[in-house]
Structures are given as structure tokens and as C-alpha cells.
Structure 1
Amino acid sequence: MIEYEELKNDIERYLMERFKYRKSLVSLTIDNVIATRRNSCIDLYLRIRKVESLFPPDCLIIARLGFSKERIGHGTQFLRFLTEVALKYGFRYIGIECANMKSGAFAKKLGFCSIDGENFTIAVNNLMNYFSME
């Protein structure tokens, strides 16, 4: 749980710097979910999974990610950041849960593979390769 608290703190620092927040937005639940309080700029719900489920083990699963301003790079920058954080904490995969049309297209653009048509996953190393080629 302490490791997850550090992960939460890294995400909180990133969001505070990127979106110029002064107060804490991010919380960690007892069932290992990192979430932001509802606000006007960002909506994040991130599941931490070390065991296999629909997603592979050692996976950070984006259950919800939304920004008030779309198509200006917030999602790509967050995924780049999440890739670095995943490496730091030993996660081997990043997943996107219950993707809608927009998030599914975004996942495919970044090289995620579909699990079942609405859930996607990618190895962190593959995502690193994608970002290194940009």
C-alpha cells in the first residue's frame, strides 16, 4: 500500500504541475484505485492490478480519463507520463477499460491491442517504443 501511495503522489504532482492546481485532487482508495475529485479540467479513475484478471498481471488500468479540453495533447502526455511511472513501479502493462469510440481510436493510434472489442492493453515497453519514435 505504501508503494501505491507513492504512485498516487507522483500522479498528483504531475497533474498539479500540468494543470496548475494548488490543492490535492488525487486520492487512493482501499481497493487500490487512484481517482481525482470531480473538477472542471480532469476526470481520472485508475485501477492498480498486480494479479491477472481480464487484463494481464502488473497492469495499470485506465477506467476513466477525460479532460475538459480535448485534442490538444493532454491524453498523450498523460500516457507518456504513465509509461514512465509504470516502469518506476514495476508495472508491465497499461490497459484501457470499457473504451468508447474516441478512447478506442486513441488506444489503437498508440498501438494498444483489443482484448474483447472494448478493453485494450499494451506492454509498457511497446508504449515506450512508440513515444521514442515520435
Structure 2
Amino acid sequence: MAKNVYKNDSEAVLKSISEMKPEYAALSKLIREAILESDHQIDEFIKWNVPAYFYKGDIKPFDPKEYKRDMLVFNTRQKDHILLILPTGAKLTNVENLLEGDYPDGRRMIKFHSEAEFLEKKSVFQQIIKEWISLVE
């Protein structure tokens, strides 16, 4: 089994969120809470200077370029939304067409424009997160 080399850094994630524009900070907090409450095997740290979420348990050995441990990374550089990047999102069921894009490398994206939109789609979002966890080998 491949050991987890990522280290939890919730303090850095919370600091990163607190430094966002207020409307993005509030939305990011809601997204963060929904991710972490979806499964106890999910953890967080900073990757590429933004919040990122990963599977913290043991998994079968894999090529690091397959990103099997990486669940989701925030992209906070958008003008009117938070973009969530799922490196292996193509393997997931696109419940209510929440996942966007058709990238050859298997990435899929999720966009949230507001807290209200997120709260409306929270249960579908958490279904996708739980499915991702269920597919970890």
C-alpha cells in the first residue's frame, strides 16, 4: 500500500481562506466544511498556493502523475466564481451536470458563483465527493 505523503495543514487552509475577498471567503468556508464532513478520510493542505483536498488513507501504489490521492483543488483566480478542479473527475457520475469540462487528462471542474448556489447544490456536491472516496483503490 502507498503511504500518504501529504500532511494535514488546516491552519494554512484557514489562513488562505481568511485572505480571500470576503464573498469568496464565506463561500470557500461552506465548500470546505461540506468536503470535510463528507468523509473522515479526506484531509486538507495547501497545494499550488490554494486549498486542496486529498485522500489520507493507504492506497495501492500508483504513478504520481495519475493524481489518485488528489481529490480537489481550489482555483480562486476567477472573477465571479470559485472553481474547483477534480484531477480525476472524469471517473465520477456527473450528477445534475455539476461537473464541467471534457479534458483528455480526466480533469473536471465545478463552479460555484455564490453561497446561495452552493447551498442549493450542496447535497449533489457531497454525493460526488462520496463517490470519489468510494472509488479509491
Is TM-score (shorter-chain normalized) higher than 0.5?
A: no
- Greater relative CO (CA pairs within 8 A, separation 6+): 2
| TM-score normalized with structure 2 length | 0.36
Structure with the largest fraction of strand: 1
